[in-house]
């Protein structure tokens, strides 16, 4: 079992569908017996449908490393920095120990952009990852170095969004 | 239960992540007790991981309406046209009868682009859908009229793809 060759995928851009693309990729992989963990940066306590599903499904783990509240880009709290750094430490651990076939680092691009974690540390992790492990990075604002090191990069562009039409966040759709 | 207000989402563009975004959306919705069907146009017999998972999961159905072989855009076979039209008929049925909260019409944009089904019929379906039903259309080449009628449109752009690097389709990742 497992992947012979794990690559690095990036889903970035300002449109809807980056995290769900990673979740869909996880489900596809689980169907074939692979083991997936999603490590969520800057997300916590929100009752996402995928978190409920992960509790039910074999081979699917989601860990949330964040607070419920939004993080301020200009003035992140010390707790936000600490949580993001713990998430990165956890990511290193599961990647280097090959504990999962696929490791999704959800919103990690934003955590870098907000200076919660060092880009350099993430680049080093990507460069030294075991070759069997697939890594998926999501979040808007992927840096040029992340894009350079990735094997596959999709930019999800917002053409239109229903928030513009006044549709509020709906359980089962937006979370 | 159910959605009070179902919208129309479109995932188009030439990048990887459109179908997986729809699958991820399905999983999120199922976590909150919603019912989802994915009707796949022009896909059949391939052992997608998500199809395996749908057999395991309550409230998650995938129906494949297509052959294993690629459809020729210039010269589609009669069987391809028939299968796509049956898929559209099935879509109408489940949408108008409100059998599912979310109906994903996977690769329907391609089926329109290949002239397997009439754009006009799809537009009429979208215009007359019950308001509680969420519809998600995927596939490259969404037409201007589809984009116009949609509430939310994401264009997934290929920045780079690992096929370019010679990585072949991998079980659990590409299917």
CA distance B4 to B1: 9
Res A169 pLDDT > 80: yes
Res A72 pLDDT > 80: yes
Q: Are B120 and B146 in contact (CB under 8 A)?
A: no
CA distance A134 to A88: 16
What is the reported pLDDT for B101?
98
| pLDDT digit string, tens, across residues A3-17 | 999 999 999 999 999
Total count of residues recorded for chain B = 175
- Relative to beta strand B152-160, strand A152-160 is antiparallel
| pLDDT digit string, tens, across residues A102-153 | 999 999 999 999 999 999 999 999 999 999 999 999 999 999 999 999 999 9
Q: What is the ipTM of this complex?
A: 0.94
Buried b (16+ CB within 10 A) or exposed e, A105-126: bbbbbbbbbbebbebeebbebb
Q: List the single residue in B22, B151, B161 with the smallest CB-CB distance to A162.
A: B151
Q: State the DSSP code for B162.
A: G
How close is the nearest chain A Cα to the Cα of B37, in Å?
Answer: 14
How close is the nearest chain A Cα to the Cα of B46, in Å?
Answer: 12
The residue to which tokens 């395996």 are assigned: B52
User: Using only C-alpha atoms, what is the Rg of chain B?
Assistant: 16
Q: Looking at residues B28-41, what average pLDDT do you find? A: 97
Which three-class secondary structure state does DSSP give residue B170? coil
| pLDDT digit string, tens, across residues B59-73 | 999 999 999 888 999
Res B165 pLDDT > 80: no
Q: Which residues of A touch B13 (CB under 8 A)?
A: 157
What is the reported pLDDT for A1?
67
- Any A CB within 8 A of B167 CB: yes
Q: Do B32 and A17 touch (CB under 8 A)?
A: no
- Any B CB within 8 A of A149 CB: no
Q: Which residues of A touch B154 (CB under 8 A)?
A: 15-17, 156-159
- Any B CB within 8 A of A19 CB: yes
Dihedral sign for Cα atoms in the order A12, A13, A19, A23: negative
- Any A CB within 8 A of B3 CB: yes
Helix (H) or strand (E) holding B142: none
* Cα within 13 Å of Cα(B11), Cβ side: 28
What is the reported pLDDT for B47?
84
Q: Do A172 and B31 touch (CB under 8 A)?
A: yes
Q: Are B41 and B108 in contact (CB under 8 A)?
A: yes
Q: Which residues of A touch B52 (CB under 8 A)?
A: 31-32
Helix (H) or strand (E) holding B134: strand B134-138
Q: Could you tell me the pTM of the whole model?
A: 0.95
């Amino acid at each position: 079992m497992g992947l012979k060759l794990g690559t690095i995928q990036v889903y970035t851009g300002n449109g809807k569908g980056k995290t769900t693309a990673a979740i869909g990729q996880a489900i596809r992989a689980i169907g074939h017996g692979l083991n997936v963990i999603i490590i969520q940066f800057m997300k916590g306590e929100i009752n996402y449908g995928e978190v409920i599903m992960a509790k039910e499904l074999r081979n699917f783990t989601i860990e949330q490393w964040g607070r419920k509240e939004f993080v301020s880009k200009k003035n992140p709290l010390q707790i936000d920095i600490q949580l993001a750094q713990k998430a990165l430490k956890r990511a290193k651990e599961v990647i280097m120990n090959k504990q999962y076939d696929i490791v999704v680092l959800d919103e990690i691009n934003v955590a870098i952009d907000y200076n919660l974690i060092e880009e350099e540390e993430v680049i080093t992790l990507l460069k030294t990852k075991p070759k069997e492990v697939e890594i998926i990075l999501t979040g808007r604002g992927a840096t040029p170095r992340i894009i350079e090191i990735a094997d596959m990069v999709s930019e999800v562009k917002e053409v239109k969004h229903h928030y513009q039409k006044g549709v509020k966040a709906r359980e089962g759709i937006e979370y």
